[in-house]
């Protein structure tokens, strides 16, 4: 029945060794059954007892024997063979589990990796070579399947370390009724075309790089914050405590010329002040001004007035330059203003 079929496993290891197992406690509880087999069927076939039993909890749960043909018939009976519990005829070639790939080679060029192995002696057309790989930072394996016996993949980062493993698969349903694959070949580690013992060094390198970058970023951030605090502190200091001028810049000649000798500097300064001082003098001068009044019926009248004059230092870049200024009564000055009326009284003076 279907229950018995589902609980029986048939494996043909590379078409060399057969292994058939069953769930003894479920199919035959408390019964220690016997197993018989024959190859290539027919009326004159000789049934062979199981040469090697597999045990589970003290009961026969499987049989292992040599593959001798493509057609296999099996029979499971009671312990003395008088009663048959299960029988099945099958094609042993449809249950082949291939062996591991042999002589696996890796070729890493640029970002492409090509994996090859020796070609099996039989049923090569039914086999596929599967390559799986991942870096230590990948959670799952990446897979690539190709015809036996070479497979290639692109996109590998030469700065990363990768783990590789390969195996052979049988095509389903063209060659097998069960999806059997070989065991994985030993895992290998590669980085930029160089074989390594493991990828632990790559993890440490990446970890150290991340730690270094994190410390660098933290240091830059701290420096930036310190600069901001320094600017804030300088502004606060200027607002709370005014800046005291440096006498080195106010009295540059004292420090540069006299090397800080105050007595020599003050003597030199006083001497220069006396030499550059311009004496202020007031002088009295008399200016004769002739005023002529146009009158056809009157004679020319000459008037002379005394005008006060004084000299003073000019307010410019040349301290020795002096200017003269004079004052005269406004009533007299109005005569010489080219016809303007005299608008000022006698007590008003005009600067000339």
Helices (DSSP H) in the chain: which residue ranges?
A: 2-6, 24-27, 200-240, 247-250, 252-256, 262-276, 330-333
pLDDT by residue (tens digit) across 241-257? 666 665 555 556 656 66
- In whole angstroms, what is the distance from residue 132 CA to residue 146 CA? 12
Bridging pattern class, strands 8-13 and 96-97: parallel
Query: Tokens 């420090």 sit at which residue?
Result: 255
If you average pLDDT over every residue of the chain, what do you get? Answer: 76
HSE-up (13 A, CA, CB side) for residue 37: 23
Query: Rg (Cα) of the chain, in Å, rounded?
Result: 60
DSSP symbols for 204-220: HHHHHHHHHHHHHHHHH
Q: Does residue 274 have a pLDDT over 60?
A: no
Please give the average per-residue pLDDT across 330-346, as a whole number. 46
pLDDT band, residue 31 (cuts 50/70/90): confident
Q: Does residue 105 have a pLDDT over 60?
A: yes
Q: Does residue 122 have a pLDDT over 70?
A: yes
Q: Kindly report the CATH class assigned to 8-96.
A: mainly beta
Select, from the ranges 112-116, 262-266, 329-333, the one with the highest average predicted confidence (pLDDT): 112-116
> Cβ distance 85 to 70 under 8 Å?
no
Please give the average per-residue pLDDT across 128-143, as a whole number. 91
Phi first, then psi, for residue 332 (nearest 5°) are -80, -35
Which token pair is 7?
A: 């609980």
pLDDT band, residue 320 (cuts 50/70/90): very low
pTM, full prediction: 0.55
What percentage of residues in the chain have a pLDDT greater than 70?
62
- In whole angstroms, what is the distance from residue 98 CA to residue 183 CA? 8
Query: Which residues, including other chains, have CB under 8 Å from residue 23's CB and lie 6 or more apart?
Result: 7, 8, 61
Domain at 98-196: CATH code:
2.60.40.10
Q: Does residue 117 have a pLDDT over 90?
A: yes
Instruction: Enumerate long-range contacts of 318-326, CB under 8 Å, 24 or more apart.
Output: 319/276, 319/278, 320/278, 322/278, 325/351, 325/352, 326/285, 326/287, 326/351, 326/352
Q: Does residue 231 have a pLDDT over 60?
A: yes
- In whole angstroms, what is the distance from residue 28 CA to residue 199 CA? 50
Select, from the ranges 141-150, 259-268, 273-282, 314-323, the one with the highest average predicted confidence (pLDDT): 141-150
Report the pLDDT value the prediction gives residue 81, as an integer from 0 to 100. 84
Higher-scoring residue by pLDDT: 208, 179:
179
What's CA 285's distance to the chain center, in Å?
92
- For the sheet with 112-116, list strands across it: 105-109, 112-116, 150-153
pLDDT band, residue 322 (cuts 50/70/90): very low
- In whole angstroms, what is the distance from residue 72 CA to residue 88 CA? 8
Q: Where in the chain is the domain with CATH 2.60.40.10?
A: 8-96, 98-196
Closest CA to 323 of 331, 314, 315, 332: 314
- In whole angstroms, what is the distance from residue 315 CA to residue 295 CA? 45
Please give the average per-residue pLDDT across 77-90, as a whole number. 90
């Amino acid at each position: 029945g279907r229950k018995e079929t589902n609980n029986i496993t048939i494996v043909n290891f590379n078409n060399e060794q057969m292994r058939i197992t069953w769930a003894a406690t479920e199919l035959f509880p408390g019964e220690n059954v016997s197993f018989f087999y024959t190859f290539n069927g027919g009326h004159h076939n000789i049934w062979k007892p199981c040469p090697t039993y597999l045990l589970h909890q003290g009961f026969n749960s499987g049989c292992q024997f040599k593959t001798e043909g493509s057609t296999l018939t099996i029979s499971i009976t009671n312990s003395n063979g008088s009663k048959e519990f299960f029988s099945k005829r099958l094609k042993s070639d449809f249950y082949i589990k291939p062996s591991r790939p042999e002589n696996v080679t890796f070729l890493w060029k640029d970002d492409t990796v090509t994996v090859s192995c020796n070609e099996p002696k039989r049923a090569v057309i039914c086999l596929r070579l599967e390559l799986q790989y991942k870096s230590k930072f990948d959670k799952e394996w990446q897979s690539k399947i190709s015809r036996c016996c070479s497979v290639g993949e692109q996109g590998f980062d030469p700065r990363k370390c990768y783990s590789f493993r390969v195996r052979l698969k049988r095509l389903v349903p063209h060659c097998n009724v069960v999806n059997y694959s070989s065991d994985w070949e030993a895992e290998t580690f590669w980085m930029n075309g160089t074989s390594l013992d493991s990828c632990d060094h790559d993890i440490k390198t990446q970890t150290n790089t991340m730690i270094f970058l994190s410390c660098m970023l933290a240091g830059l951030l701290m420096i930036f914050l310190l600069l901001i605090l320094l600017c804030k502190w300088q502004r606060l200091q200027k607002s709370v405590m005014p800046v005291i001028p440096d006498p080195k810049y106010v009295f540059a000649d004292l420090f540069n010329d006299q090397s800080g000798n105050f007595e020599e500097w003050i003597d030199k300064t006083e001497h220069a002040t006396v030499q550059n001082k311009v004496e202020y003098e007031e002088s009295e001068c008399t200016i004769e001004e002739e005023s002529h009044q146009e009158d056809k019926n009157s004679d020319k009248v000459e008037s002379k007035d005394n005008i006060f004059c004084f000299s003073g230092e000019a307010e410019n870049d040349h301290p020795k330059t002096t200017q003269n200024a004079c004052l005269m009564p406004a009533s007299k000055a109005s005569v010489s203003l080219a016809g303007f009326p005299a608008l000022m009284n006698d007590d008003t003076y005009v600067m000339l």
